Chain A
Amino acid sequence: MGIQLYLYLSAILFMIGVVGVIARRNAIIVFMSIELMLNSVNLTLVAFSAFLGDVTGQMLVFFVMTVAAAEAAIGLAIIISLFRNKQTVNLDEINILKW
């Protein structure tokens, strides 16, 4: 049936993720959106791999998944540290790195 549908799905998921990163206030939700973006890319890679018959795409998926896991772990640790200091995870209130 062609790869288009998979690509459309990935694009839509990616866009949802981007909007989530930009527009949501809660840091945890932002992280979820980032995970969504990463997984949409995974979907694209798998789709192409299946369609082209090249296994490199699926290999890259493993890289992406590892990085996503590591980044989620560290990111959540940072959020917890942030919460301990600022008592909030509302991104609108966190601008410590302001000029």
Chain B
Amino acid sequence: MFSFAPTIVLFPLLGFLFLGLFGARLRNEKLIGILGSGTVGLSFLVAVALFIHMLGLEPDQRKGIVELFSWIGTFTGTASSVNVSVAYQVDQLSILMTLVVTGVGFLIHVYSIGYMHGDPGFWRFFTYLNLFIFAMLNLVLADNFLLMFLGWEGVGLCSYLLIGFWYDRKFDVGGYAPGKAWTNDAAKKAFIVNRIGDFGFLLAMFLIVVQFESLSFDAVFGRASVMTPGSDVMIWITLLLFLGATGKSAQIPLFVWLPDAMAGPTPVSALIHAATMVTAGVYMVARCSILFALAPATLQVVAVIGALTAIMAATIGLVQNDIKKVLAYSTVSQLGYMFLAMGVAAFTAGIFHVVTHAFFKALLFLGSGAVIHGMHDEQDIQKMGGLKKYLPVTYKTFLIGAIAIAGIPPFAGFFSKDEILWKAFSSDQGSVLLWAIAAAGAGMTAFYMFRLVILTFEGKERFDHHHAHPHEAPKTMTVPLIVLAFLSVVGGFIGVPESLMGGNALEHWLEPIFAPAMTALRATPHHGGITEYLLMALSVGIAVAGIYGAHTVYMKRQELADAWRSKYRRIYQVLWNKYYVDEAYDALFVRSTVKASETVLWKGLDVSVIDRLVNASAQGVAWLSSKVRLIQSGFAQRYATIFVGGIVLVLFWLMFK
């Protein structure tokens, strides 16, 4: 049964190739849409079949590796040299990720049929989407670091292609650059910032090769599990891997590409920058849990950065006016929570949040897409309001998504977020401070999400009725919304903790994956008792307070918003300008490098110094010749004189030798 696993990866690849080569000729949108979605749907079905098969197996049997062919290596037969294959590993963690990727991916493909209707690049969109799914599946199903890296960079490539999909359009970057930037600037930024993270990933791989003499997960993790924790090399490996994760999953310091990535079509934001690609970093940390467990210092770093990112992004999200930007910063913030979970060794909680976040964040993005579609490409929430009358399905599903992300039980977000908060407090690696930061962030999350809901859907209509005619989205778009809303409601039940009488199915399912890490950490399970219930109630209370606060400020007493804005003008400016991080990076790194390269390296060194040396040597030879040629006077008698002189000299020499 496991041998069917490669077909999961194969279907989207075939879709990409077929649509890439023939898509331009197929004039029929429906056909392209069905083909594009169908391949992902097929992958989903195979994944489901595999999952059901695995349910019937014993926990330690639930793993299969299918090797396809030898990929990169020296092929010299030396055992210690690098030799990596294309091989796929199906286990509890990868099948879970696969189901999320293909399931949510399928829904978004269907949604795109409606959203991208009429676009001249319709076939190109589905081609790139299929390529993305192919790359993402390679990432989560790989059985070694190098194949995972192929998926890792592959999703980066698709992100680049899809963000810059409308390649002749400008987009508004908010407070960043005066004037407007092009979509491809955002795409390029995403790719390059990701590459900085990939630099870390590559170095980590080299260290792994030196340390473990292999790149396959089984070999590396097997050899790692007998190492003693805290060694320098492990800290370096995990720090570098985490650098890669901060790039891919938009954490401090490499998060700056994600908000700009909103320049792409909304389904792209939903699929890549919410549900799947950005969670690749979290998945990678989870997959390498044993390595991180052997480097407690790195775990601390991960947790701190996760927490800081969570709260920083939340503060920025409080004041943004573009509907997608709010959701983008929300994503950065939620990813921070996932890394916080990883950092406190709550690996299952982190993966849990990946799953639930995929549901409700995709829902929110698709909903915002429906709003944008209905408002004819308007994205500024200050120009919306009262839309619940015109887009009822969108409103209801969006509201469900907002409630889920705020963390209100029994919706999905509550269970996952609450577990993270509890583990941040109670785990060996956690602390009250981390919990406090996370809880504050949760409050802000509820606040800004409901600010978004209210400003968009409730209250007075602030849009110009002459220009905007808001209407509900077609079925291809609303049906996925409804499905995702349903999942946002019930999705949390896979991980109901024991303290609430649930079986915590997810924890048991993933236990064999994280067992080596937990053993290395000598983690003791904490039974919270009263403290756990107290914190649970507290987190719900904070969420409710956030919602109530948003309701008050934006519904009842709107003058408060303006009052705060003028009273705390300085703080507002800093938040609205995203702490000026983009500007700082631009000045420190981008502009200085370009200027230095141009003046110092090119004009200064290459042209002035090296080339001048070369030309000078040529000129030197020319100068020498100009002196030597003076011997050629043209007078034959002069030459004769020299002959005679020479003969005389020779004669003298012969005579007086």
Q: Which of B630, B637, B640, B641 contacts A99 (CB 8 A)?
A: B630
Q: Check A22–B634 contact: CB distance below 8 A.
A: no
- Contact string against B for A residues 17-50, beta-carbon threshold 8 Å, 1 for contact and 0 otherwise: 0100110000000100000000000000000000
B632 interface hit (Cβ, 8 Å): yes
How many inter-chain contacts with C-beta < 8 Å in the A-B complex? 28
Q: Which of A22, A92, A95, A96 contacts B640 (CB 8 A)?
A: A22
B294 to chain A, nearest CB (A): 80
B644 interface hit (Cβ, 8 Å): yes
Task: Give every chain B residue within 8 A of A94 (Cβ-Cβ).
Answer: 634-636
Task: Give every chain A residue within 8 A of B636 (Cβ-Cβ).
Answer: 91, 94
A97 interface hit (Cβ, 8 Å): yes
Q: A18-B644, A22-B644 are in contact. Are A98 and B632 (CB under 8 A)?
A: yes
A43 to chain B, nearest CB (A): 19
A81 to chain B, nearest CB (A): 15
Task: Give every chain A residue within 8 A of B634 (Cβ-Cβ).
Answer: 94-99
Task: Give every chain B residue within 8 A of A98 (Cβ-Cβ).
Answer: 632-634
Interface residues of A in 70-99 (CB under 8 A from B): 91-92, 94-99
Q: Check B637–A22 contact: CB distance below 8 A.
A: yes
Q: Which A-chain residue is minimally distant from B626 (CB atoms)?
A: A99
Interface residues of B in 604-647 (CB under 8 A from A): 629-630, 632-637, 640-641, 644
Q: Check B635–A92 contact: CB distance below 8 A.
A: yes
Q: How many residues of A contact B (CB 8 A)?
A: 12
B425 to chain A, nearest CB (A): 94
Task: Give every chain A residue within 8 A of B630 (Cβ-Cβ).
Answer: 99
Secondary structure of the B contact surface, majority rule: helix
A74 to chain B, nearest CB (A): 15
> In whole angstroms, what is the CA distance A99 to B632 when docked?
6
Q: Which A-chain residue is minimally distant from B625 (CB atoms)?
A: A99
Q: Which B-chain residue is minimally distant from A98 (CB atoms)?
A: B634
Task: Give every chain B residue within 8 A of A18 (Cβ-Cβ).
Answer: 644
Q: Check B633–A21 contact: CB distance below 8 A.
A: no
> In whole angstroms, what is the CA distance A34 to B178 when docked?
91
- Contact string against A for B residues 349-370, beta-carbon threshold 8 Å, 1 for contact and 0 otherwise: 0000000000000000000000
Q: How many residues of B contact A (CB 8 A)?
A: 11
B305 to chain A, nearest CB (A): 76
Task: Give every chain B residue within 8 A of A97 (Cβ-Cβ).
Answer: 632, 634
Task: Give every chain B residue within 8 A of A95 (Cβ-Cβ).
Answer: 633-635
Task: Give every chain B residue within 8 A of A21 (Cβ-Cβ).
Answer: 637, 640
A38 to chain B, nearest CB (A): 15
Task: Give every chain A residue within 8 A of B641 (Cβ-Cβ).
Answer: 22
> In whole angstroms, what is the CA distance A22 to B630 when docked?
20
Q: Which B-chain residue is minimally distant from A30 (CB atoms)?
A: B637
> In whole angstroms, what is the CA distance A95 to B632 when docked?
9
Task: Give every chain A residue within 8 A of B629 (Cβ-Cβ).
Answer: 99
A52 to chain B, nearest CB (A): 22
> In whole angstroms, what is the CA distance A92 to B641 when docked?
14
B639 to chain A, nearest CB (A): 10
> In whole angstroms, what is the CA distance A94 to B634 when docked?
7
> In whole angstroms, what is the CA distance A96 to B630 when docked?
14
> In whole angstroms, what is the CA distance A20 to B347 when docked?
110
B263 to chain A, nearest CB (A): 68
Interface residues of B in 268-298 (CB under 8 A from A): none
Task: Give every chain A residue within 8 A of B637 (Cβ-Cβ).
Answer: 21-22, 30, 91
Task: Give every chain B residue within 8 A of A30 (Cβ-Cβ).
Answer: 637
A20 to chain B, nearest CB (A): 11
Interface residues of B in 74-104 (CB under 8 A from A): none
B625 to chain A, nearest CB (A): 9
Interface residues of B in 582-610 (CB under 8 A from A): none
A94 to chain B, nearest CB (A): 8
Task: Give every chain A residue within 8 A of B635 (Cβ-Cβ).
Answer: 91-92, 94-95
Q: Which B-chain residue is minimally distant from A23 (CB atoms)?
A: B637
B640 to chain A, nearest CB (A): 5
B449 to chain A, nearest CB (A): 89
Q: Which A-chain residue is minimally distant from B641 (CB atoms)?
A: A22
> In whole angstroms, what is the CA distance A99 to B637 when docked?
16
A30 to chain B, nearest CB (A): 7
> In whole angstroms, what is the CA distance A91 to B639 when docked?
12
Q: Which A-chain residue is minimally distant from B632 (CB atoms)?
A: A99
> In whole angstroms, what is the CA distance A96 to B633 when docked?
9
B624 to chain A, nearest CB (A): 13
Task: Give every chain A residue within 8 A of B640 (Cβ-Cβ).
Answer: 21-22
> In whole angstroms, what is the CA distance A99 to B630 when docked?
7
Task: Give every chain B residue within 8 A of A99 (Cβ-Cβ).
Answer: 629-630, 632, 634
B190 to chain A, nearest CB (A): 65
> In whole angstroms, what is the CA distance A23 to B186 when docked?
87
Q: Which B-chain residue is minimally distant from A22 (CB atoms)?
A: B641
Interface residues of B in 414-461 (CB under 8 A from A): none
Q: Which B-chain residue is minimally distant from A19 (CB atoms)?
A: B644
Q: Which B-chain residue is minimally distant from A24 (CB atoms)?
A: B637
B481 to chain A, nearest CB (A): 90
Q: Which A-chain residue is minimally distant from B629 (CB atoms)?
A: A99
Q: Which B-chain residue is minimally distant from A97 (CB atoms)?
A: B634
Which residue among B629, B633, B635 has the maximum number of chain A CB atoms within 10 Å of its CB?
B635
> In whole angstroms, what is the CA distance A97 to B637 when docked?
12
> In whole angstroms, what is the CA distance A33 to B633 when docked?
22
> In whole angstroms, what is the CA distance A63 to B629 when docked?
37
A40 to chain B, nearest CB (A): 15
Interface residues of B in 548-605 (CB under 8 A from A): none
Which residue among B635, B637, B644 has the maximum number of chain A CB atoms within 10 Å of its CB?
B637
- 10 A-B Cβ contacts within 8 A? A18-B644, A22-B640, A91-B635, A91-B637, A92-B635, A94-B636, A95-B633, A95-B635, A98-B633, A99-B630
Residues in chain B within 8 A of chain A (CB atoms): 629-630, 632-637, 640-641, 644
Query: Apart from A30-B637, A92-B635, A95-B634, what are 14 other A-B pairs with CB-CB below 8 Å?
Result: A21-B637, A21-B640, A22-B637, A22-B640, A22-B641, A91-B635, A94-B636, A95-B633, A95-B635, A96-B634, A97-B632, A98-B633, A98-B634, A99-B634
Closest 10 CB pairs of A and B: A95-B634, A98-B634, A99-B629, A99-B632, A97-B634, A22-B641, A95-B635, A21-B640, A91-B637, A22-B640
